[in-house]
Every structure is written in structure tokens, then in C-alpha cells.
Structure 1
Amino acid sequence: MTESKTTGGESETDIFSERTQLKPYEYPDVLEYKDAIRNSYWVHTEFNFSGDVQDFKINTTPAEKAVIKRTMLAIAQIEVQVKTFWADIYDEMPKAEVGNVGMTFAESEVRHMDAYSHLLDILGIAEDFEEVTDVPAIEERIDYLDEYLEKSESDDTQEYVMSLLLFSTFVEHVSLFSQFLIMTSFDKHEKKFKGIANAVEATSKEEQIHGLFGVELVETIREENPDLFDEDFEEEVQAACQQAFEAEMKILDWIFGEGELEFLPRAHVDAFLRDRFNQSLENVGVEPIFDPDDDLLEETRWFDEDIMMTKDNDFFSKRSTTYNKHSQSVTAEDMF
């Protein structure tokens, strides 16, 4: 997919056409995403997890322990599943600046995988990981992720753009965030699992940056190739959103199969998940499909305020892509 793919308009640039020389950059602004990941650099050895191990062994109820184990297994499985998407992006958009961002993201995904692999080990649940792909809910999640990844290998430009959009919005910005909410809620409400909360916070912010980059690429493609984004395209995105939502709800059914958390009712998590999907659709100019419950959303607003927002940092203040359109949700200006 290295020949010109411009199908509409008179764009002077074409992100799909090959540029063999390093410069001049055609998309220099995207390099800020590379810098953002470099500035956010972390490794799991920076965090102290000794208290987390003790919390898991003696300071949790059986239901809480089941929630933690299944949540951590679900996170780790995604981290295995998505390793190569960003590393391969140069093959489709052969511009040095785009490829540099993709490779930087790929390295961060390796750090994420290392972190959650370590957490499985110290919590004593690594052996459970061998069986996780036999869980029907996990299998269904793997199936829809595989669909996205298969589209990324298509020679059809519209199929590839769909893959980029779905991966950026539903994988990077949604799929793990209900699990991130669950794990950070222990620290928020119970003052437990502080080390894991730190790792989750660091992961969340980097996943957010990954998704923002993908959304910006989609918007660039939309400007250069508007004919790719027809009515059928929007309907397909909404259908994929419904499929992903149903799969993620089954993940939550499994996570809470032994009981809910007193300090984080399932209804709060469900409302949070619907809102993340709605926001992701809005980010790419697609009509949201879920009715929001503002009262329930208030109960998890702390996640955006405490975990996702970083004060005194205007990294994305000049970005053309705005992350959330909700007045109280995380915006690009809040990130790094």
C-alpha cells in the first residue's frame, strides 16, 4: 500500500504514498506523540509492589481476590495481543515521521507487557494465564481484536483505515479502561494496591496517547481522502462499536463472576464503559450509540480527574484533534 491512495479532493500530500528521503517532513506535528511517550517513559521496576502482594494475600475478600486476578489476566492478555500494530504502521504510511512514532509506541507496548507479566508473577497467578484463552469472554475479545488486526493487513485502503480507526478508538481508548478503573478503585477507595495503581496510571496515559495519534491519522486521511468516509463507513463503525461493547460486557461478567466490589458497583463500571465508547465515536466524527447516565458517571469522574489528568502540562494544547467533547471529560490539553 505504497502507491498514492488519494481518492477525493486536491490534497497536496498523501500519507499513503512513499517518501524515501528523510526530509522535509510532511507531517511534522505527529512527532510530538513520539516526544510525549519519551517524556512519559517508565518501567515497572520504578514502583514498589511489596504492599500489593501483602494486600492480595491477606487484605482482600475472596470476591475481591477473584476480581483482581481476573482483571489482571484480562489486562495482560490484551498487552500480548496488540504488540505489533504500531510497529507495522510504516508499511502502510511510509513517512519517516509516522514510522518513528509507531516504533516508539511499539517499545512502550513492550514495557507494558513486561510490567503486567511481572505483576502476574508476584501475585502468584502466572499459571492461570495458561488457561485464560479458554475463557469464553476472553476468546470473544480476542476474536474482535483479531478482526481489527486482519483488516490492517488488507490491500484495500478503506479496510485499512477502518482497522486504524477501530484499533485506535476501541482498543487503545476503551478495551482496557474498565479494568484500569477497577484496579485504581482499590487505591482510591480502600488505599490498597498502590503500586499497581501507579503502573495502571502510567499505562493509561500512554494508551491514551497511542489512541490520540491514531485518531489524528484518521483525521488526516479523512482530509486527504474524503471519499473513503461514506455513510456505510459510519454504520460499520457503529456496528463494530456494538460488537466490542457486547464483548467487553462479557469480560465484566466474568471479572465480577464471584461477586461485585462494594466500593465500585457494577452499574458504575457499565456506565463508565458506555461513556468511553460514546467518546471514542465522537472523536472520529461518528454519532454515539449509547444513552449516557450522568448520575452514574459522576461516581467514576474521579478516574478522569485523578488518573488521566496531569496538571501544569499543556502537551497537546496545539493538537488539531480534540480528545473528548464532554465538558468534564479528559481533553487532549490535559494529557502530558
Structure 2
Amino acid sequence: MSTQTKNLLDPGFELTLRPMRYPDFYERYRDAIKNTWTVEEVDLHSDVTDLAKLSAGEQHMIGRLVAFFATGDSIVANNLVLTLYKHINSPEARLYLSRQLFEEAVHVQFYLTLLDTYLPDPDERAGAFDAVENIPSIREKAQFCFKWINEVEKLDSLQTKADRRRFLLNLICFAACIEGLFFYGAFAYVYWFRSRGLLHGLATGTNWVFRDESAHMAFAFQVIDTVRQEEPDLFDDDMAKEVTAMLEEAVKAELQFAHDLCGKGLPGMNTESMREYLQCVADQRLVRLGLPARYGSENPFSFMELQNVQELTNFFERRPSAYQVAVEGSVSFDDDF
């Protein structure tokens, strides 16, 4: 067996867990196991009553929102299997990715349950599931995702620096733009409803999805950090420009979605406020990647500033006693809202 030092993106299928080369990835896997939840724990009964109270504009927003959720996590799961698991050559990282795939499946089940609960009409529900084809604002976001999947999907291995740069761009797209921007935009709408005392079942499930997505994003950024440490010449000035342009394109696509959801505006939620919020989030992703902020916007939503303290401390208090999951220490989100 060769003693040559291997890098994370070197082709192959490393199986050796001892000695462990990337113990932090393994610890992320162990932390994820402690964070187990199931869709059956989310009570949506009160949401049905709340839905009847919503205005036509608010009902439109909810319909669009759950339609996006139903497709978004499926796209992430497909990229995880087709790209990330294939090319991140670390058994510790693949353990985490296996766990992430399970979590994405739980999210898809949650959104399936939401659609079945919120949209009792079969034709309306079918239209929501086919949102990528029949809702332009969701189709635009999906096409943005597929563009970056297609860039690397056919690569059998990352043999050249160009291949590795393409892979890094795919990973950055899913961490910073999809999980880190598209989903964070969608979460803001959910917590806007919750701030008004509405749709607590949706908010409870979203809390737990939010926890998962924050962890997925943190793992992806750690992979990016590791690759940049091992191969510092990959992330050059040209890639920095591409990443900034990618975030700009993602903000533009998400703003089209905001126009669709908000229309001419709802009390406390409108396209201009979402523009500021999305630009603030995009800047945080750029800074996390060591790049200059692009927009300089502030977060306009006070209910998102409170997100890391409201209800989340109760997460493990809600666990059924039948769960055999050991939980130690405190639990909190990062503050990148």
C-alpha cells in the first residue's frame, strides 16, 4: 500500500478508517445521529385551522412555498449521491454524507406530508409536485441547480485541476446558494408566519429541517476549507469571480421567487425586504468563503434574528422517552441568517 499522502479529492475509494485522516468529519456524523427526528413528531392539526384564516395572497405564498420545498430537497439528495459521495474520497466524510442522505429523505417525507395536509385537492397537489415544470419561479431555481449538477455529473473521477475546480464550484453552489440561500429564503417566510402566531406545525418541522440544513452547510464548507488547504492553487482569482457571479445569479433567481410569493406585498413581508435579507445572507456566504461582501445589506427581519433562541432550546425536551439517543451539551444554530 502506498504511503504517499492523499488529498481529499484524489480519485479512488478509500476504505481505511484507522488511522483516521479527517476525524472532524466523523465527529459531524456522530453529532448528526444525536439530532434524529421523525415526521410523525410534527403536529399539523392546528395548521389546517390557520390555513382557513389566511388571505388569498398568504394562501398563494404557502402553496408556492411547499411546492418549492417538495422539489428542493430532492435536487439536493440527487446531487449528494451523483456527485458528492462519488468524489469526496474519505470514509469519514462518506459516513456523514450517508447520514445526510437519510436526513434529506426525512425532509422530503415532511414536505410530502405538508402537501397532503395543506392541499387536499388532488389536482392542485399534483401541480405542486410538478412545480419544476409548471411554476416559472421554481423552474428558474431548478435550472440554476441543474446547471451546476450537469457540470460534474459525467465526471468519473477528478483527474485534473479543471475537474476539481468544477467539483468545488458544484459544492459551493449547493452549500452557499441552494442550502445556504434558497432554503434560508424559504425559512424566512415560514418564520414570518410564526411571528404572527400562525402555522406552528410548519414552524416546528422547519426548526428541525433548519438544524439539519445548517449542519449540512457547515460540513460542506469544511470540505471546501480542507480542499483549499490541501490544494491552495485551485481556488484562484478566476474562481473567486465565478463564485461571486454564482451568488449574484442565485440572489436574482430567489428574488424572482419572492416576486411570485409576495406579489404587491403583504404586511411585514414584501419583495424589497426579501431583497435586503437575501443580499445579507449572500454576503455572509461570500465572507465565509474568504471573499469580499458584495451587497452590504442588513437583515430587515427581526424574527430571523431571534431564530436561534426561540423554541430551539425545547428541541430535545420534546423527544419521546422511547428514543435511545444520547444527547450531551448545548444545541444552537450558527447566526448566519
Report the Cα distance in structure 2 between the residues aligned to 1:304 and 1:128, rounded to whole angstroms.
34
Q: Does 1:80 align with 2:77?
A: no
1:292 maps to which residue?
297
Contact 1:13 1:26 in 2 (8 A): no
Aligned residue pairs, count: 309
1:31 maps to which residue?
26
Deviation for aligned residue 1:162:
1.3
Contact 1:90 1:96 in 2 (8 A): no
Report the Cα distance in structure 2 between the residues aligned to 1:157 and 1:302, rounded to whole angstroms.
38
Structure 1 291/263 Cα, relative in aligned 2: closer, same or farther at 3 Å? same
Report the Cα distance in structure 1 between the residues aligned to 2:224 and 2:312, rounded to whole angstroms.
23
C-alpha offsets along residues 66-86 of structure 1, whole Å, 9 cap, x if unaligned? 111111111212122221233
1:113 maps to which residue?
108
Deviation for aligned residue 1:260:
2.7
Deviation for aligned residue 1:203:
0.5
User: SS of 1:227's equivalent?
Assistant: coil
Contact 1:205 1:308 in 2 (8 A): no
Contact 2:70 2:108 in 1 (8 A): yes
Report the Cα distance in structure 2 between the residues aligned to 1:264 and 1:79, rounded to whole angstroms.
24
Q: Does 1:92 align with 2:49?
A: no
Matches within 5 A, 1:118-267: 118-124=113-119, 125-133=124-132, 134-153=134-153, 154=155, 155=158, 156-189=163-196, 191-257=197-263, 259-267=264-272
Report the Cα distance in structure 2 between the residues aligned to 1:22 and 1:199, rounded to whole angstroms.
34
User: SS of 1:226's equivalent?
Assistant: coil
- Gapped regions of structure 1 (runs ≥ 5): 4-10, 317-322, 332-336
Structure 1 87/309 Cα, relative in aligned 2: closer, same or farther at 3 Å? farther
Report the Cα distance in structure 2 between the residues aligned to 1:220 and 1:149, rounded to whole angstroms.
21
Letter in 2 for 1:195: G
Letter in 2 for 1:247: A
Contact 1:309 1:330 in 2 (8 A): no
Letter in 2 for 1:60: L
C-alpha offsets along residues 48-102 of structure 1, whole Å, 9 cap, x if unaligned? 101101211x211111111111111112121222212333433212221111111
Of residues 71-80 and 301-310 in structure 1, the stretch that sits farther from structure 2 once superposed is 301-310
Contact 1:172 1:207 in 2 (8 A): yes
Deviation for aligned residue 1:210:
0.3
Report the Cα distance in structure 2 between the residues aligned to 1:234 and 1:28, rounded to whole angstroms.
28
Report the Cα distance in structure 1 between the residues aligned to 2:251 and 2:194, rounded to whole angstroms.
26
User: SS of 1:255's equivalent?
Assistant: helix
Deviation for aligned residue 1:298:
4.5
Contact 2:277 2:298 in 1 (8 A): no
Q: Does 1:16 align with 2:9?
A: yes
Contact 2:194 2:203 in 1 (8 A): yes
Report the Cα distance in structure 2 between the residues aligned to 1:262 and 1:204, rounded to whole angstroms.
24
**With structure 2 as the length reference, what TM-score do the two structures score?**
0.84
Contact 2:191 2:303 in 1 (8 A): no
Report the Cα distance in structure 1 between the residues aligned to 2:283 and 2:309, rounded to whole angstroms.
18
C-alpha offsets along residues 99-128 of structure 1, whole Å, 9 cap, x if unaligned? 111110011000000000110011115223
Contact 1:73 1:132 in 2 (8 A): yes
Report the Cα distance in structure 1 between the residues aligned to 2:118 and 2:34, rounded to whole angstroms.
29
1:319 maps to which residue?
none
Letter in 2 for 1:15: L
1:280 maps to which residue?
285
Deviation for aligned residue 1:32:
2.0
Identical positions, percent: 19
1:50 maps to which residue?
45
Q: 2:54 aligns with which of 57, 60, 63?
A: 60
1:302 maps to which residue?
306
Cα root mean square deviation, aligned: 2.6
